[in-house]
């Protein structure tokens, strides 16, 4: 028995196909998602409206979408460095939490103080925290050959427990009726809205700047080339003199710092205090964003918007359609699988075996 079909590499991938792949993947995932919604006894059309249309048409929800997309863009931009180099940092969630903790720690230490330096200090602390937390798996891989996948992921659980310990223990708000949360940050430690009456803050600008900088690094610098070479042809990269260990450490540090920065922006811009679960799994969601955006910074920005729409839609669907948040999670995993399959079909052509046999020898 021979396989039904074989994959043969396409000699040339048209730009149109490259654009259509994620669009088709999204469409396929939506179709399957619609079936699941119908199985759960809800109308797929109503779900489509709540998940994908209303977050864009309602002005309040549209703002929420941009706010939700901000940390996603930052974390995913950092992850691009890792994934392009085929280094698998899947612990961005932990780096995000530690960043939020470090920045939030500064906010708690300076509680009641005023000064324009507080917010920058928080950002710096958060970025450094995320960076240090990402350095751990990178060093363990470079020095000891330990899989960065497992260590970076294990550290997510540790960061989660550290957050839990701090907000229930030393950093708990003494006047908080024993709720596991820190004090509400002072004014000087909060990211304020850019416009009167709106909610958008400067975090979005930072995120876009990071994505732009990443695009420049990937396109215009030797480091960007070294990352791509090391990811796609590690042996060739070695022969070219690119230091494998140094690339591993650098891409981890960059992605850790950006995830940490995203953590500070989340606590200073959205949450306004430290409390368990402020991560919301955004560090994991950003992995999907990175892949949905085809590992390109511009793609990541677009993908972050799509995913943010879905997340905001999921929150309102929970209320209006009684659809659980787990549906959104399931859908995002499904979407990622569809993208990966689409990428495979973009790279390879399916050739059926039977047709080949009928051809005269």
Site membership for another protein, residue 41 (CB under 8 A) = no
Select from 167, 174, 187 the least CA-distant residue to 112.
Answer: 187
Closest separation in Å from C-beta 272 to another protein: 23
Site string for another protein, 6-25 (x = CB under 8 A): xx-x----------------
Residue 144 engages another protein in binding (rule: CB under 8 A): yes
CB of 9 to another protein, least distance (A): 8
CA 344 to chain centre: 22
Among residues 81 and 119, whose Cβ is nearest to another protein? 81
Helices (H), 267-296: 282-292
Burial letters for 89-127: b for 16+ Cβ neighbours within 10 Å, e otherwise?
bbbbbbbbbbbbbbbbbbbbebbeeeeeebbebbbbbbb
Q: What phi-psi label fits residue 124: left (phi over 0), alpha (psi between -120 and 50 degrees) or beta?
A: alpha
Contact 76, 208 (CB under 8 A): no
Nearer to another protein (CB atom), residue 202 or residue 325: 325
In a 13 Å sphere around the CA of 113, the CA atoms on its Cβ side amount to: 11
Compute the distance between CA of residue 183 and CA of residue 108 in angstroms, rounded to an integer. Answer: 7
How many residues belong to the chain?
A: 361
Q: Is 138 in the site for another protein (CB under 8 A)?
A: no
240: contact with another protein by CB under 8 A? no
- The nearest distance, CB 306 to another protein, in angstroms, is 16
> Are 134 and 253 spatial neighbours (Cβ–Cβ below 8 Å)?
yes
Is residue 287 involved in binding another protein (CB under 8 A)?
Answer: yes
Nearer to another protein, 58 or 164 (CB): 164
Instruction: Please give the residues from 309 up to 338 whose contact with another protein meets the rule CB under 8 A.
Output: 324-334, 336-337
Residues lying near another protein in the complex (CB under 8 A) are found at 3, 6-7, 9, 36, 40, 88, 90, 140, 144-147, 149-151, 153-155, 157-158, 161-162, 164-165, 168-169, 284, 287-288, 291, 324-334, 336-337, 340-341, 343-345, 348
């Amino acid at each position: 028995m021979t396989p039904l079909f074989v994959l043969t590499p396409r000699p040339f991938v048209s730009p149109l196909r490259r654009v259509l792949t994620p669009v088709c993947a999204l469409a396929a995932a939506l179709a399957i998602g619609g079936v699941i919604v119908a199985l759960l006894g809800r109308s797929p059309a109503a779900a489509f409206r709540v998940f994908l249309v209303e977050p864009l048409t309602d002005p309040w929800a549209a703002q929420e979408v941009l706010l939700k997309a901000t940390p996603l863009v930052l974390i995913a931009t950092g992850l691009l460095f890792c994934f392009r180099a085929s280094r698998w940092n899947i612990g961005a969630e932990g780096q995000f939490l530690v960043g939020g903790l470090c920045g939030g720690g500064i906010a708690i230490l300076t509680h009641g103080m005023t000064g324009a330096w507080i917010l920058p200090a928080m950002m710096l602390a958060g970025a450094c925290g995320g960076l240090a937390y990402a350095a751990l798996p990178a060093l363990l891989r470079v020095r000891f050959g330990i899989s960065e996948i497992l260590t970076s992921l294990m550290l997510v659980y540790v960061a989660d427990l550290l957050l839990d310990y701090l907000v229930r223990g030393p950093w708990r708000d003494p006047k908080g009726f024993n709720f596991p949360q820190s004090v509400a940050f002072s004014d000087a430690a909060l990211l304020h809205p850019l416009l009167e009456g709106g909610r958008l803050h400067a975090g979005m600008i930072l995120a876009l700047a990071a994505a732009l900088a990443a695009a420049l690094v990937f396109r215009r610098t030797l480091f960007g080339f070294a990352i791509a070479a090391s990811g796609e042809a590690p042996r060739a990269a070695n022969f070219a003199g690119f230091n494998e260990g140094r690339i591993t450490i650098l891409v981890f540090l960059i992605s850790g710092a950006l995830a940490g920065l995203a953590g500070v922006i989340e606590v200073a811009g959205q949450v306004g205090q430290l409390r368990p679960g402020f991560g919301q799994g955004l560090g994991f969601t950003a992995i999907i964003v990175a892949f949905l955006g085809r590992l390109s910074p511009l793609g990541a920005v677009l993908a972050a918007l799509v995913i943010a729409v879905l997340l905001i839609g999921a929150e309102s669907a929970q209320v209006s359609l009684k659809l659980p948040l787990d549906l959104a999670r399931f859908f995002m995993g499904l979407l990622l699988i569809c993208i990966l399959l689409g990428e495979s079909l973009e790279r390879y052509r399916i050739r059926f075996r039977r047709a080949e046999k009928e051809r005269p020898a």
